[in-house]
Chains A and B, each alone.
Chain A
Amino acid sequence: MKKLLTAAASIALVSALSISAVAADKLKVGFIYIGPPGDHGWTYQHDQGRKAIDARLGDQVDTVFVENVPEGPDAERTITRLARQGAGLIFTTSFGYMDPTLNVAAKFPNVKFEHATGYKRADNLSTYAARFYEGRYVIGQIAAQVSETGVAGYIGSFPIPEVVRGINAFLLGAQTINPDFKLKVVWVNSWFDPGREADAAKVLISQGADIITQHTDSTAAVQVAEEQGVKAFGQASDMAAFAPNALLTSIIDNWDDYYVERTQAVLDGTWESMDTFGGMDSNMVNMGPFINMPADVKAMAQATTAAITEGKLHPFAGPVYKQDGSVGVPEGETLGGFGLVGMDWYVQGVDDQL
């Protein structure tokens, strides 16, 4: 299977590259995608960012992308090929590309690399991620207000820090409204498998969850929520079209500004290796329209969004207690740095074990 995907990826690569082989003096910007741009979720939003580069810098830049690249050694081959084909800037857009990107970056010192959601950097390798957990906190509050059973279901992809952080932020938000709010977590061990995501949603609903939220890439879960008459949140992009009655809001990734800015920096020769962790304040995380909820809940959600955007509210402001009751974040402190980036513990109240 893996071999096949690689073969598919190479075919896609060859065709993508042959299209852009014209105009060799332009800066070539490459993208590596974990899924298809048509997933209407994670990869879709990255592809929107790529299109933003085309739209705003199209006269100086060519963009190419390779979709469905599996994480691991196969990714290294694909990234290497992009670099060898003359890409000057390469965005690798999934956590599992971290080590492959690092390895390739060492071999191509003149090519700039940008890796999403990782934490390993080099002179020519930047990292960037978005504070999605800020949005998770907001939807946690909404969930606790709207839920009748007091139980939400959370579909996880892989138990990596980014996903764990989202689960924690969601529950912390919910607990500000209802301290006894329950959260059931189901891991599907895949970023993209619509059928399994749908299965997980059905399982969670039958276990009493009347709110479904997910950290996977497809729209399957919100569609099940629509069908079964419970509420749901969109992930990565606005999913209202798939669940017009069930959707409360979506957390929308907005990479457009960042991608254009970084590409411009390469064009200007001012690109430097750095770590970006953008949130609502830098417009990297947006909330979709608040729909299907009472006016007071909507007002609360807007107020929370505004407070986070202005920096007055931090989801991981102490005191935060871990699952076993020990202190995760002491009172008066706010979690930041590696404690936030490498989070590997659940907050009190999560009905799951890592």
Chain B
Amino acid sequence: MSPYEAILLTIITASTPLLLAAIGELVVERSGVLNLGIEGMMVMGAVCGFVAAHVTGSAWIGVIAAVLAGIATSLLFGLLTQTLITNQVATGLAITLLGLGLSGLIGSGFVGLPGVKLANVSIPWLSDLPFVGRLVFGQDPLVYISILLTVGVAYALKYTRVGLIIRAVGQNHDSAHALGYRVVAVRYACIAFGGATSGLAGAYLSLVYTPQWIENMTAGRGWIALALVVFSTWLPARLAMGAYLFGGVWILGLYAQAMGVGIPSQLLSSLPYVATILALVIISTNRRLSVINTPASLGQGFVPDR
């Protein structure tokens, strides 16, 4: 394996969980809901994915369990914020705390046990091609899923009726309601979608990235995903770019250190954040476009007036 190939492979692994978690949150926020519980949903996905895979021996069952765990956690958020109209910020934070605590409890008997790694895709002949083989045709399945999801979300939001409804609900829930759309139901569906991808992101950590269960193994990635959504001005293409830029600068920083470039490691560690902010600020300078994409009802609860 050439060094460049190794660099690119590591970058993809580092970026995929961010992209998975962020693409779901993008849909959630487009529907006008601010879910700060990504970290909690992710870590629930990570622990349930690990436990299911460890017990059954099948990584795919682990992935499914992770998705279900993410959805279940997100529906709790949905119940609180959509049906009981609690404050979305506070509820999201509570979901994160709950997820971190509950995952520790669920996983307490599974610390230090060997995990099951989700096998990489292997296509005869294609995966053996030099350089592009492993890079394009030999990734783990979740990498492809993350890319398909991003493309799918971008297409659905822009060109489909469902996307239009989601955006309408996020822009002005009163108007959407007046038009006869079921605002709360649409938001529930979006929240569940966000839970599913956050669960997948968690599964990526405990079944691919580092196949084991360690408490708090998300280590703040949910918050980075959340920031990426806002900085991408709610556009999937920019989101994917931001996630890969973040992962790329982070990994290149490690390479720079390993090669003995005399840059302080603290500076290198902060570079991914600086670079992502700079890049997204520069591409968001078109204010008109940014304002159009910002969901106007973001974070507001909706109570039908009748």
Answer yes or no: do A and B interact.
yes
Binds A, one of B70-78, B107-115, B185-193, B281-289: B107-115
Query: How many residues on chain B are close to A (CB under 8 Å)?
Result: 46
Supposing A4-B97, A195-B209 touch, asked if A241 and B114 sit within 8 A by C-beta, the answer is yes
B166 beta carbon closer than 8 Å to chain A: no
A-B contact count (CB 8 A): 130
Measured CB to CB, the nearest residue on chain A to B254 is A203
Measured CB to CB, the nearest residue on chain B to A7 is B97
Mark B111-133 against chain A: 1 for CB-CB distance below 8 A, else 0: 11010010000000000000000
> Are B216 and A40 within 8 A (Cβ)?
no
Supposing A11-B97, A36-B104 touch, asked if A199 and B255 sit within 8 A by C-beta, the answer is no
Q: Give Cα A242–Cα B111 distance, bound, in whole angstroms.
A: 11
Q: Give Cα A255–Cα B259 distance, bound, in whole angstroms.
A: 36
> Are A189 and B265 within 8 A (Cβ)?
yes
B160 beta carbon closer than 8 Å to chain A: no
Closest Cβ–Cβ distance, residue B267 to chain A (whole Å) = 10
Q: Which of A11, A38, A206 contacts B215 (CB 8 A)?
A: A38
Binds B, one of A215-223, A256-264, A275-283, A285-293: A215-223
> Are A219 and B216 within 8 A (Cβ)?
no
Q: Give Cα A203–Cα B247 distance, bound, in whole angstroms.
A: 13
Q: Which of A1, A194, A202, A352 contacts B257 (CB 8 A)?
A: A352
Query: How many residues on chain A are close to B (CB under 8 Å)?
Result: 48
> Are A1 and B219 within 8 A (Cβ)?
no
Q: Which of A195, A198, A218 has the most CB of B within 10 A?
A: A195
> Are A207 and B212 within 8 A (Cβ)?
no
Binds A, one of B3-11, B51-59, B148-156, B293-301: B3-11
B66 beta carbon closer than 8 Å to chain A: no
> Are B10 and A202 within 8 A (Cβ)?
yes
Complex interface: chain B residues within 8 A of A199 (CB): 10, 13-14, 250-251, 254
Q: Which of B212, B216, B250 contacts A242 (CB 8 A)?
A: B212
B residues neighboring A (CB under 8 Å): 1, 3, 6-7, 9-10, 13-14, 17, 93, 96-97, 100-101, 104, 107-108, 111-112, 114, 117, 205, 209-212, 214-217, 219-221, 223, 250-251, 254-255, 257-260, 262, 265-266, 269
Beyond known contacts A40-B111, A187-B265, A195-B219: 16 more, CB 8 A cutoff:
A7-B93, A38-B111, A39-B214, A153-B258, A186-B254, A186-B265, A189-B269, A192-B219, A194-B205, A194-B209, A194-B217, A195-B210, A195-B217, A207-B258, A219-B214, A220-B210
A residues neighboring B (CB under 8 Å): 1, 4, 7-8, 11-12, 35-36, 38-40, 68, 153, 156, 159, 184-190, 192-200, 202-207, 218-220, 223-224, 227, 241-242, 351-353
